[in-house]
Structure 1
Amino acid sequence: MDHLLGEVRAAGGVARVASLRARGHSRRTIENAVSSRALTRPRNGWVAMPGADPLLVAAARAGVVLTCHTQARRLGLWVLEERPVHVAAPPHRHVGEVKRDTHVHWARPLVPRHPDALVDPIENVLVIAAACLPREEALTIWEAALRLELVERWSFERMPLPSSARDVLAECSSHSDSGLETLIPVRLRFLRLPIRQQVWLAGHPVDFLIGDRLVLQIDGGHHVGAQRRSDIAHDARLTLMGFHVIRIDYVQVVTRWPEVHDVIVRAIAQGLHRAA
């Protein structure tokens, strides 16, 4: 039985019985594990370890896969806000019971799903996110996936992407180091000004250079202590060189954007983005 439990654990804590049987585990061994409560049975044809990821157990019970922002969050991608669980199933397939606020995507998958899968392949996650989520939120997820090399851009470009996914892919930048940096160009596009990322000025890269002289810096949680002192010194050097620096943080971008917007547009109105 220990070998069986090790196989289920290696599968993420939830496994399909047919696959366990194919790997040599007898029906009796599996039934004994369920009878002794070493395993549970979320649904006929599936077993799970006690304490397994509730999302995976629920997916097995319903006959769906986790996808869109739900799977993106599980992969550690930058998700802008909390939403109800999103799952996917092939069109016209009957699924088991899901929670009332669960959103089911009935889309035909771009990448075929294995019968053992309880999570969508990353390509499907991104394609569904592009069609489902607001553009800026989808873009943050896509850029994070590309940045972490969960998917290769050249490979993705060769697939028959729907127009919504192809549009997001075309907009993806390789310069953003975080989800926050992904949002800024999208939100400032209306200015119709050059917005360059990771430009080296005075010996250090700046997050954004708007026009010729307006610098926008985004502070993360690590901008404290020695890092903070270095940032202040760099800001001073930029000021002496004729640049104007606006420094903002995570909370301002995510929850107080109108305030940031007002500061930036007023700086533009004063011509602070122009070279002297």
Structure 2
Amino acid sequence: MEERIEIITIGKEILIGRTQDTNSHWLCRRIIALGGFVKRVIIVDDEIKEIVEALNIAFKDKSRVIITTGGLGPTSDDKTLEAVAKFASCKLTINQEALEFVKSRYKYFYEKGYVSYPEITPEREKMAILPEGSKLLSNPVGAAPGVALKHKGCWIFSIPGVPKEMKAIFENSIINMLKDIIGKKFFLEKTIKSGIEDESKLAPLLKILAKEFPAIYIKSHPLHFAHKVDIELSFSSSGDEKEEVKRRIDNSINRFKELIEGKHQNHDGGR
């Protein structure tokens, strides 16, 4: 059974078009490569009510993992952890490990000349206030730690929205936890040229394939209408055994080629 994963991207700057959400795209690619299943990606404002509502929806839909990005910084509009605590009905407290982490990071930044002073202000201390019972995820790039909290069987991973920080925390801390949750799975994707220039001609063939190969995700990639366009098709699947996944995809591609040949033969024969 595929473990359902949802991604909640948090930030008004994304909703108003100032910043592009590249984090979700990157996370989806990494999670799929691990054999995970991303059911939904949602973008919400920096408002506690909006974040809590998104968490509730994901939880009610039986998500095993929820990943939030953004809203972990020192400013007043960084409200993600407050929302997570409210969702999980737990207190926000100063986490001593997180506080030492924040102190060490600002000491390092000061010594490097990145900041003008190393002292911990209330704004910097804010990044060490975590939901009770949560686990710190070390941030090797920035000052705000990531946070992991397990709530009624659902893991919530909250990571910064800065792409370099998000990627570093995911690769260093979250990926191994995800592997334990998802289990050992293999993901494979193959892309071929369809030999067809019009997606509407592909549609009935893809419908047949979807019925015959329910474990294969097949997606057409049209770019534009033009002469001599050859639409690409991607075939992807995941499973416990690498060879089985490969065999499944190869069979679906071979079946597509059979359908194409039959379609062309029928078309030519009708002339």
**TM-score in terms of structure 1 length:** 0.24
Higher normalized contact order (CA 8 Å, seq sep 6+, divided by chain length): 2
User: Which structure dedicates a bigger proportion of its chain to strand?
Assistant: 2
**TM-score in terms of structure 2 length:** 0.24
